[in-house]
Structure 1
Amino acid sequence: MKYKRIFTIVIDSFGVGAMYNAKEYGDEGTNTFAHIDENMDPFIIPNLMKLGLGQIQKPVHAIINENPIGYYGKMNELSVGKDTMTGHWEMMGLHITEPFITFTENGFPEELIHELEKQTGHIVIGNKAASGTEILNELAAQEIQSNAKKMIVYTSADSVLQICGNEEIMGLDELYRCCQIARDITMKPEWKVGRVIARPYIERDGQYIRTSHRHDYALSPFNKTVLDLLKENQKDVIAIGKIEDIFNGNGITQSYHSNSSIHGMEQTLEVMKKDFTGLCFVNLVDFDAKWGHRRNPVGYGKELEAFDCKLELVLNELKEDDLLIICADHGNDPTHTGSDHTKEMVPLMMYSPSMKESSPLEIQDSFGTIGMTILENFEIPKLSFHIGHSILKNLV
């Protein structure tokens, strides 16, 4: 075992350039990092630059560190699709060959909506693709006036069914109950969305504010992941943010819910004070949910600057036998058309205080590089269906 603790931090949606097949997804020319950088002047992210981000993608305004530490490069996604579950499952060894079903064009089928109304006792309004802020501005007042007899159902470019509920009128327990019903209904093959998401909100002075009590009801991975193997081999698997939701609890030994990306980094710093052997797996969703989908490059850039400040603390806390991995699960170029994720390569930055060298990495052919490197570190054999290869031997 080379490293006792591995910290893998996913900057949700932080792409670094269109993939070779981006045209198939309507994403030619996308580059989340480069286009954020173009809109930020100055752009103060010295710790990401220290880890080699400037060598991965040359910036205009962020200042390149000419002597980066650790190892750095890009990863392609082998699986089809460009959603959160696909990206994270691939990191942990699974190859997704069929994309999750989406209902972006026409909303959900009448039969599905009828069944949802019948089982929940609520009248569905919405039933279309929309952003979370748009749908609340359009329909929240109607839901509130109905005293929660109506509930807002919507989707996005992702494979999701989302239900909005006012925390103070519908209540969290009722919202979660309805989402569990929706999850059960959408287990039918023709309706099988990747996630059902509870989207609670409150109303204050005419403004509709989403709260931190979001809850995802995801599909379980279709086969064993790296997380399962770590747990089976008595290693700790500590999940921060929405990691537990993404894997539907499978392979997790301990989980922390985050209220924000900054909170997620603070939780990571707390976990770093603990003595454990295994993986701390972190997802920081604000980059995607607050800024990428809402096409706000400056907001995204400021979030990266705040993250960078916390990253400095993480780097200072690393022990000699710790490994830090920073990556992303897909792109979400805030200057692109629409509000969908973008099919991009993602960064791979790896660092340990014990490293004696620093070097660029070859472009990896799948996100599975991460999971396979973790498995080899803990001397756990990969399974026959796992994709990716370990680069542990490259980390010197």
Structure 2
Amino acid sequence: MARFVVLVIDSFGVGAMDDVPRVRPQDLGANTCGHILEHLPTLRLPTLEKLGLMNALGATPGVMRPSPGASWGVAELMHEGGDTFMGHQEILGTLPRTPLRMPFSQVIDKVEAALRAEGRKTQRCGNGPYWLLVDDAVAIGDNLEADLGQVYNITGNLSEKSFDEVKAIGRIVRQQVEVGRVIAFGGRLASTQQLWDAAETRDGTYIGINAPRSGAYDDGFQVVHMGYGVDDSVQVPARLHAVGVPTVLVGKVADIVNNPHGESWQNLVDSQRIMEITLDALNRQQSVFICTNIQETDLAGHAEDVDRYADRLQLVDRYLARLMEAMRRDDCLVVMADHGNDPTIGHSRHTREKVPVLVWQQDLPPTELGVRTTLSDIGATVCDFFGAHRPENGHSFLPLLKTARNRHD
């Protein structure tokens, strides 16, 4: 009986992908981890240092150093751009497809008609393109933090509308559009005027609410991610269910990945609470796959707040040490990210970066995993670990770990 934990530190990339000059020039020079350490050179993350974070970074901009005993690699993004939703689908074994790109302005007529048919009040806002204000408390428009045109946001003032109502509006939108993701979220705002004040236009084509500026993340934040075209039957949770292994999803991953047969801790943002739930899930299960997302790092990246990002990393680092203490010899831990979000690069959107893959087992000798060409290699390794059928995408690196351990034993 063994347990496998994947901890995704959301947005904690270790350097721009090689294709960035061609596909995302705005991300040239991005390095979330490296630039945080450059700005805070005395920052020490002892657990992540032990796990090989600096090995994966390939540089030493601060006091931390490579770990000679680490098992580590880096993984490239197979999905286009740098997207949390598709990043997690990829981690759990989905083969990424080319996403639809369509400004909200191209579907506003259809969406508005559907909302009015359901008895919703709508108001077009802006000077063209337009965003929609629904029932005087909920804004609909382009997501300005992800790749433009791939995601629509439904941003609610939860002081005026319940989150259930915001989700109901989101479901109406989801039924009318084919972009990869619709995000329904909100927080308690002092006034809906905060949504108006945070409205922005990009490239003369995209318009939406700047989520960090709106204050939606600050008080009572709740969120649900509504995806399109993802086949969960070929992902890790379904593969593991077929062999009797339960899956526990904690944090944002529970909001965006379907886990009908497992345990999902949704609508959680606080990192300490998320790590406590993860530790508890490990301690009460004899055989389990746990995937946890730490979202507050990503929120700090969007806010371009280096100090807040570092604070959340320090908290996670402390809990990682506790998690490792609770793990048995046959258990396995992977610490990774899903993309970058460099708070120093000059924009508040995700950055297309490769990510660290840090692996730990008791008595595992140093092992280099190399450059993994897709995040799905983690999902494939999880399935291999439990003897389940491989997911749709990815190649297991479990044989590398077994070979290293057998040589050591």
Structure 2-normalised TM-score? 0.82
Equivalents in 1 of 2:276, 2:246: separation in Å?
19
Which runs of structure 2 are paired with 1:36-55 in the superposition (5 Å)? 36-55=36-55
Equivalent residue of 1:269, what SS? helix
CA RMSD, aligned part only? 2.7
Equivalent residue of 2:7, what SS? strand
Equivalents in 2 of 1:317, 1:360: separation in Å?
25
Which residue pairs with 1:109 in the alignment?
107
User: In the superposition, relative to structure 1, how do residues 109 and 29 fare at CA in structure 2: closer, same or farther (>3 Å)?
Assistant: same
Aligned-residue sequence identity (percent) comes to 25
How far residue 197 of structure 1 moved from its aligned partner, in angstroms, is 1.9
Q: CA offsets, 1:79-127, max 9 Å, x none? A: 3232112211221222213124353xx7553313422541351324558
Equivalents in 2 of 1:124, 1:312: separation in Å?
51
How far residue 253 of structure 1 moved from its aligned partner, in angstroms, is 0.5
How far residue 178 of structure 1 moved from its aligned partner, in angstroms, is 1.2
Which residue pairs with 2:327 in the alignment?
318
* One-letter amino acid of the structure 2 residue matched with residue 166 of structure 1: N
Q: CA offsets, 1:337-389, max 9 Å, x none? A: 3222111110000101142x113221111112101111111112325xx3221
Structure 1-normalised TM-score? 0.85
User: In the superposition, relative to structure 1, how do residues 113 and 230 fare at CA in structure 2: closer, same or farther (>3 Å)?
Assistant: same
1:166 equivalent among 135, 154, 157: 157
* One-letter amino acid of the structure 2 residue matched with residue 273 of structure 1: N
How far residue 275 of structure 1 moved from its aligned partner, in angstroms, is 2.1
Contact 1:163–1:198 (8 Å) recurs in 2: yes
Equivalents in 1 of 2:361, 2:123: separation in Å?
51
How far residue 77 of structure 1 moved from its aligned partner, in angstroms, is 1.6
Mean CA deviation greater in 321-330 or 335-344: 335-344
Which residue pairs with 1:123 in the alignment?
122
Which runs of structure 2 are paired with 1:162-311 in the superposition (5 Å)? 162-186=153-177, 191-203=178-190, 208=215, 209-219=218-228, 221-222=230-231, 224-247=234-257, 249-250=258-259, 252-257=261-266, 258-288=268-298, 290-311=299-320
Contact 2:166–2:184 (8 Å) recurs in 1: no
Equivalents in 1 of 2:373, 2:389: separation in Å?
20
Residue 9 in structure 1 maps to residue 7 in structure 2: yes
Equivalents in 1 of 2:125, 2:283: separation in Å?
46
Equivalents in 2 of 1:202, 1:167: separation in Å?
7
* One-letter amino acid of the structure 1 residue matched with residue 51 of structure 2: L
Which residue pairs with 2:32 in the alignment?
32
* One-letter amino acid of the structure 2 residue matched with residue 379 of structure 1: G
* One-letter amino acid of the structure 1 residue matched with residue 400 of structure 2: N
How far residue 35 of structure 1 moved from its aligned partner, in angstroms, is 0.7
Query: Gaps (5+ residues) in structure 2?
Result: 195-214
How far residue 322 of structure 1 moved from its aligned partner, in angstroms, is 1.1
Q: Number of paired residues?
A: 367
1:372 equivalent among 376, 380, 384: 380
* One-letter amino acid of the structure 1 residue matched with residue 398 of structure 2: L
Which residue pairs with 2:88 in the alignment?
88
Equivalents in 2 of 1:150, 1:122: separation in Å?
10
Equivalents in 1 of 2:389, 2:139: separation in Å?
46
Equivalent residue of 1:301, what SS? helix
Contact 1:18–1:344 (8 Å) recurs in 2: yes
2:346 equivalent among 337, 346, 349: 337
Contact 1:39–1:298 (8 Å) recurs in 2: no
Which residue pairs with 2:60 in the alignment?
59
2:140 equivalent among 137, 153, 177: 153
Mean CA deviation greater in 74-83 or 370-379: 74-83
* One-letter amino acid of the structure 2 residue matched with residue 202 of structure 1: L
* One-letter amino acid of the structure 2 residue matched with residue 387 of structure 1: N
Equivalents in 1 of 2:87, 2:126: separation in Å?
26
How far residue 168 of structure 1 moved from its aligned partner, in angstroms, is 3.0
How far residue 239 of structure 1 moved from its aligned partner, in angstroms, is 0.6
Which residue pairs with 1:358 in the alignment?
366
Which residue pairs with 2:400 in the alignment?
394
How far residue 150 of structure 1 moved from its aligned partner, in angstroms, is 4.6
Which residue pairs with 2:210 in the alignment?
none
Equivalent residue of 1:94, what SS? coil
* One-letter amino acid of the structure 1 residue matched with residue 339 of structure 2: H
